[in-house]
Structure 1
Amino acid sequence: MPTLRRRTPALLAATFLASSLSLPTHAADRVLGWVEEGLIMPDGVAVKFKLDTGALTSSMHAEGVERFEKDGKDWVRFNVNVKDNRTDKPAKLQFERAVERTIKVRGAGGAERRPVVQMSVCLGDTLYSESFTLNDRDAMNYPVLIGRRTLEKAGAVDSSKTFTAKPTCKKG
C-alpha cells in the first residue's frame, strides 16, 4: 500500500504559484504602469490607456453609438473622437462592429446597458484584439480603460509606475 505524504503549506503555495503562471513568457516578465500610452488600431492613434485591475472588461470612449442590423445580427456604428498624443491633433475615427453581447454596468450614477465589441489596440509591442464596452468617456481622463481580461495577457501592473512600454505596433 502506498504511503500518503502530507503536503506542507509551503509546498502547496509553491505548487499553486507554479500552476498559476501560465502567461506567455514575455507577459509574465513584463511590468506595466497604471497609465500607458497605447494605440487604437488600425489607425494607430496614440492615447493614454488606464490599466484598471478593478475592471473586468475593457472600455473605450465612443460617441454617437447607433445600433443597426446587418445580415440578421446586431451591429453598432460609433465615433471615437480623441486627441492623438503623438501629433497633439484631434483624431476622428469611425467604426462599425458586430455586437458580441450587451452588459449591465453598475456605477455611482446607477446602472446602464452597454454594447460589447471587438477592438484592436496596441500596448507595448503587442497587438490585442479584445472585447470593449462602448461608453462616452469624454469626461474621463483616459479614453481607453484596460480591464483584467486583457491585463492577464499583457502582464503585471505596478501602481507606482507610468509610461513603461512605448507602443511599437505598425498601422494597418
Structure 2
Amino acid sequence: MRHRLGSIRNRFVPLLLAAAALSLGSTSGFADSPQVLGWVEEGLILPERVAVKFKLDTGALTSSMHAENIDHFEKDGEDWVRFTVELEDINTDKQVRTRLERELIRDIKVRGAGGAEERPVVLMKVCLGNQIYEEQFSLNDRDKMNYPVLIGRRTLEKVGPVDSSKTFTVEPSCPDSRQ
C-alpha cells in the first residue's frame, strides 16, 4: 500500500506544480487584457467631437449612426452619400448640426420587426475611451431611439469586452482630431 501511495504522489505532484505555474502565469495575463467597458458609454463623433451615448451592442454586427436627409451622388466616378447629423451634445446640451459627405462603402439589408430595409454604410471616426476608431457605420434615422450610435461586433472586436452590468466606465479622452 505504501508503494502505491508513493507512486500516486509522484504522478500528481508534478501535475499540481504545473497547474500552479499555469494559474500564476494566467494572472499576469489579466494585466495585459483590454479594459472592460459598459453596455453604454460616452463617445465622441469626429471630427465635430460631439459627445453622445454609444450603445455597445453585441447583437448588432455592423455599427450604426444617426443620420437624416441621406442623398446618394457620384463623385470622381465613385458612389458617395451626403447626410445630416443632428445631435444633442450630452456635455453641453447644445444641438450640433452638420452636413457630411462620405464615400459609400456598401449597402446592407437590415431586417427588423418592421421588415427589411437597405442602408448605406460609410467610414466614420469615433472616439471611445482613449482610442480613435475609423469604422464602418450604417446610416439610419435614429431620432426615436435612445442611443444615436450603436457599436456593433465588428468594432467591438477591436474595442474589447463588454460588461452588461456596467455603464459609463470611461470618458472619451482622444487627442484632438479634426480630420
TM-score > 0.5 by shorter chain: yes
Higher helix share: 2
Runs of 4+ in 1 over 2 A off after TM superposition: none
1:32 is matched with which residue? 37
Name 1:167's counterpart in structure 2.
172
CA distance in 1 between counterparts of 2:131 and 2:155 reads: 11
Cα distance in 1 between the residues matched to 2:59 and 2:135: 17
Is 1:143 matched with 2:148? yes
| 2:161 corresponds to which of 144, 149, 156 | 156
Paired position in structure 2 for 1:61: 66
Q: Percent identity?
A: 67
1:134 to partner: Cα distance = 0.2
- Following superposition, the deviation at residue 171 of structure 1 comes to 4.0
- Give the gaps of 5 or more residues in structure 1: 1-13
- For the residues of structure 1 that align with 2:43 and 2:98, how far apart are their CA atoms? 15
1:83-141 Cα deviation digits (max 9, x unpaired)? 00111110102210000000100000000000000000000000000000000000000
1:146-165, Cα deviation, whole Å (9 max, x unpaired)? 00010010010000000001
Unaligned runs of 5+ in 2: 1-21
Residue aligning to 2:19: none
2:51 paired with 1:46: yes
1:16-44 per-position Cα deviation (integer Å, ceiling 9, x unaligned) = xx9xx9xxx5xx32100000000000111
- For residue 123 of structure 1, what is the aligned residue in structure 2? 128
Question: Corresponding residue for 1:133?
Answer: 138
Q: How does 1:6-25 map to 2 (within 5 A)?
A: none
Q: Aligned partners of 1:171, 1:131: CA distance in 2, in Å?
A: 18
1:85 aligns with 2:87: no
C-alpha deviation, 1:72, in angstroms: 0.9
Matched AA of 1:42: P
Q: CA RMSD in A?
A: 1.6
Q: How many residues of Structure 1 are paired with residues of Structure 2 in the alignment?
A: 149
Instruction: Give the structure 1 partner of residue 17 of structure 2.
Output: none
